[in-house]
Amino acid sequence: MRSPEETERLIRDAAVNADEARDASVLGKMREAYAGSAPVVSTRRPDYWGLVFESRLARFAAVAVILLSLIIIVGQFGAFIAAGNVAWADVTQQFQTVPFFYASIYVKRDALSWPLHCELWMSKGGNARVHVNSQVVFGRDGRVIRAFDIGQRKEVEPDLAAADIIRKLATPGEFSLETLIQCISAGKLVDITPAMDAHAAIGEDLVVFHAKLAADPGWARIYALRESRLPVGLRMWQVADGFTLDALITYPEEPPAIAFDPTAFATELQNRANSPTSLIYLFLNEAGANDVMYGSPPQ
């Protein structure tokens, strides 16, 4: 029996004969084995949507999200289309539905004059209250009832501008936007239906209507909110003499009836504890402000 050392030497020294064909065959089998053991790399993208929709719950959630997105998009687009078609008739009709409004008006007679400021409060039922210069004037159904001078703290003859506003706003049944505009513009606005001015619109919140003045070249613009259709501003410009008018219209909470009571006002007028500012806005309030009401209705 050969020793391990002899056996190793015999194997090492043994001649191994292989032809080229057999070498090629062995090499081919080796390559096939290597190719079969190598990892397969896919060139296709992973099917993420397929993975998501493998779960029924995930499918329902995805469909709900898609439908909700479509509803929101269609709703916003539809609201934009509907709001874009605001007609002048919509604005005038909506104005008739409000129970109370406030207008702050600035007027310049010409380009070099100081502006005159006038404030108007009016509620349905024909009640009106006007502040101009140092006067507070009360009216009802187009008639001046009483007028007071805040500085002198006494009853006086009404300011002509205030009396004219009250007289022209004799609309006890319902508000008329055309009447209001004609009144505060001193009849300068031509009697035509204003047309929408898309070029002057500001963003998506306001619509602008354009009209011509009755006299020399000039124009008027009325601003209204798209959603509520309520007018909120008026701007007039007369080219020849520079006459300008700016009016801001708001819709505070309707004040108590005492706000249009000249007798209650006359009583508070003699109270020296009331400042001129508090007398001007006596018994009135402003939307969103808790400390604007001056004076309290009697209990």
Please name the residues in contact with 261: beta carbons below 8 A apart, sequence gap of 6 or more. 138, 283
The residue among 84, 106, 139 that closes a domain is 84
Q: Are residues 142 and 237 in the same domain?
A: yes
Find the length of the chain: 299
**Would residue 32 count as lying in a domain?**
no
Q: Are residues 101 and 158 in the same domain?
A: yes
Least confident of 159-163, 265-269, 277-281: 159-163
Q: Are residues 163 and 270 in the same domain?
A: yes
- The whole domain housing 154 covers 88-280
**Would residue 13 count as lying in a domain?**
no
The residue among 64, 84, 104 that closes a domain is 84
- Residue 227 sits at φ, ψ, to 5 deg, of -75, -50
Q: Are residues 92 and 113 in the same domain?
A: yes
Read off the CATH number of the domain in which 155 is found: 2.50.20
What's the pLDDT at 194? 64
**Would residue 288 count as lying in a domain?**
no
Q: Are residues 128 and 274 in the same domain?
A: yes
Q: Are residues 135 and 187 in the same domain?
A: yes
Structure tokens at 5: 């050392």
Sequential DSSP letters for 146-168: EEEETTTTEE-PPPHHHHHHHHH
Structure tokens at 131: 């502040």
Q: Are residues 127 and 77 in the same domain?
A: no
**Would residue 21 count as lying in a domain?**
no
Q: How confident is the model at residue 177 (pLDDT cuts 50, 70, 90)?
A: confident
Q: Are residues 168 and 77 in the same domain?
A: no
**Choice between 175 and 33, residue whose per-residue pLDDT is larger:** 175
158: enclosing H helix or E strand: none
3-class state of residue 141 by DSSP: coil
Q: Are residues 63 and 157 in the same domain?
A: no
Domain count within the chain = 2
Q: Are residues 215 and 71 in the same domain?
A: no
**Would residue 128 count as lying in a domain?**
yes
pTM of the model: 0.66
Q: Are residues 78 and 95 in the same domain?
A: no
**Choice between 224 and 32, residue whose per-residue pLDDT is larger:** 224
Q: Are residues 242 and 112 in the same domain?
A: yes
HSE at residue 292, side-chain half, CA atoms within 13 A, is 10
The residue among 67, 84, 101 that closes a domain is 84
Can you tell me the distance from the alpha carbon of 164 to that of 282, in angstroms, rounded to the nearest whole number? Answer: 23
**Would residue 9 count as lying in a domain?**
no
Asked whether residue 53 carries a pLDDT value surpassing 80, the answer given is no
Considering all CA atoms of the chain, what is the largest pairwise distance in Å, rounded to the nearest integer?
149
**Choice between 187 and 238, residue whose per-residue pLDDT is larger:** 238
**Would residue 113 count as lying in a domain?**
yes
